[in-house]
Amino acid sequence: MPKKITRIVLTGGPAAGKTTLISRILKEFKQEDGWKVITIPETATELISGFGLGPFPGCMSMLEFQYYVVDDQLHKERLALRAAETVPEEKVLIVYDRAVFDNKAYISDEEFRAVLAYFGKTEEQMLAGYDAVLHLVSCAKGAEFAYNYGNAARYESVERAREMDDNTIRAWSAHPSLHIIDNSVDFEDKINRAVAEIYRILGQEVPEVEKSKFLIAMPELETLCERYRAVPTEMMQTYLIAASPALERRVRQQKNGDKYLYFYTEKRLGEDGRRWVTEKPISEKEYVRALMEGDTALHSVRKTKYRFSHGGCRMEIDVYPFSEDKAVLFVYGGGHRDAPLPEEIRILRDVTGDPDYKNRRLAATQVL
């Protein structure tokens, strides 16, 4: 089968959810399922925080800064494409955290064309290098209460964030596969819609997100792997000390092939009762450092998740080391409650929505 490389840009105004979406992509398209995900970090942020280069007084103008940004972006995009062509996986997804056309939101159209011409590029050539663009609308449009969640150092006002969101949509408007993901429902729905668009762009069936949850007798795991090609993934979730009862902090280590991925997650409960979840990938060093802030009143939740399909439904079984005779089954899909189950699975009871079977509660009880 020929290698398929898909290049997707994630863009949007400030506080749009790009970092959380990248975390979800890394979890969704795993190496065990034949995927290689290559992420290109946001260039402007790296130059400002890492090198001290930016459009600051006494440093350089915004236009001068764009030459540095585009130069670095083009370099990283070339490296990412070479890596995609080199890795053994046949399905490669290159994810750009902003890309060259984001720079057009900060300077005039004429200046942007001049910057591209300096590097021997045209707008048409650059647009052709991206298969699709997902614009996540800033929280400053429709979810203002969450605007600063996940980034206490954010310096743009809500009004400025709205303006930059509009400018960014305009900058990418000529791309033939531009998808705009708004804040019409809630943040979880927003991320789910973005992931669904990625599946459609890849030409794959969109997995269901609605699910039911069941306590089951421990099945024969080897049989699940052999008969239903269940794919096991090891993970460990650790809860961290939080400054407020309305804030939940945690880190997760998740196996990905012969390596591990690491994530930092915050769950906030707003005054209106709405829940807002932000997440970002972190390095192993950051993960180890975060473990020092672990909540000693709670255990780390270790589990192995087995994913497989049966009867047209996606299913997952969570197996915990503290339970020898029970496990938890998730069944996804609109008709999930009536979905036929493998004969090896015996349901003990429906625990959908039962707080005793949420991860945080299991961290306290270690009992199924």
Task: For 95-125, write each residue's pLDDT tens digit.
Answer: 999 999 999 999 999 999 999 999 999 999 9
DSSP states along 235-275: EEEEEE--SSTTEEEEEEEEEETTEEEEEEEEEEE-TTS-E
Read off the pLDDT of residues 324-342 as tens digits, 9 standing for 90 and up.
999 999 998 765 566 788 9
Question: Whole-angstrom Cα distance, residue 66 to residue 98?
Answer: 13
Return the amino acid letter for 65: F
> Which pLDDT does position 288 carry in this prediction?
97
- Please give the residue that has the higher pLDDT: either 177 or 210: 177
Element (H, E) at 277: strand 275-282
Q: What is the SS3 assignment for 281? A: strand
Kindly report, as residue ranges, where domains of CATH 2.40.320.10 are found in the chain: 211-365
Closest residue by Cα to residue 171 from 108, 94, 96: 108
Residue 34: pLDDT over 60: yes
> Which pLDDT does position 339 carry in this prediction?
72
Number of H helices and number of E strands within the chain? 10, 14
Mean pLDDT across 26-40: 93
Mean pLDDT across 280-287: 96
Residue 193: pLDDT over 90: yes
Residue 153: pLDDT over 50: no
- Please give the residue that has the higher pLDDT: either 184 or 322: 322
Read off the pLDDT of residues 218-247 as tens digits, 9 standing for 90 and up.
999 999 999 999 989 999 999 999 888 889
- CA torsion sign, 338 to 339 to 341 to 346? negative
Mean pLDDT across 146-158: 62
- CA torsion sign, 9 to 10 to 14 to 18? negative
Residue 149: pLDDT over 60: no
> Which pLDDT does position 337 carry in this prediction?
61
Q: Of 33-37, 181-185, 268-272, 363-367, which gets the smallest average pLDDT?
A: 268-272
- Please give the residue that has the higher pLDDT: either 11 or 32: 11
Mean pLDDT across 255-261: 91
Kindly state the percentage of the chain with pLDDT values over 90: 73
Mean pLDDT across 142-163: 71
CA distances from 207 to 26, 92, 183, 188 (A): 15, 19, 21, 15
CB atoms within 10 A of CB 134: 25
Long-range contacts of 265-272 (CB under 8 A, 24+ apart): 265/23, 266/149, 266/150, 268/146, 268/149, 270/145, 270/146, 270/246, 271/145, 272/145
Question: Whole-angstrom Cα distance, residue 158 to residue 156?
Answer: 7
Terminal CA-to-CA distance of the chain, rounded, Å? 44
Return the amino acid letter for 213: K
Question: Whole-angstrom Cα distance, residue 35 to residue 261?
Answer: 14
Residue 270: pLDDT over 80: no
Mean pLDDT across 64-87: 97
Closest residue by Cα to residue 136 from 127, 126, 146: 146
Mean pLDDT across 160-172: 93
Burial level of 306, CB count in 10 A (0-12/13-18/19+)?
Answer: buried
CB atoms within 10 A of CB 336: 19
Kindly state the percentage of the chain with pLDDT values over 70: 95
Q: Of 146-150, 177-181, 276-280, which gets the smallest average pLDDT?
A: 146-150
Kindly report, as residue ranges, where domains of CATH 3.40.50.300 are found in the chain: 4-201
Mean pLDDT across 299-328: 94
Instruction: Give me the CATH code for the 211-365 domain, please.
Output: 2.40.320.10
The topology (CATH level 3) of 4-201 is Rossmann fold (3.40.50)
Confidence of residue 15 (pLDDT cuts 50, 70, 90): confident
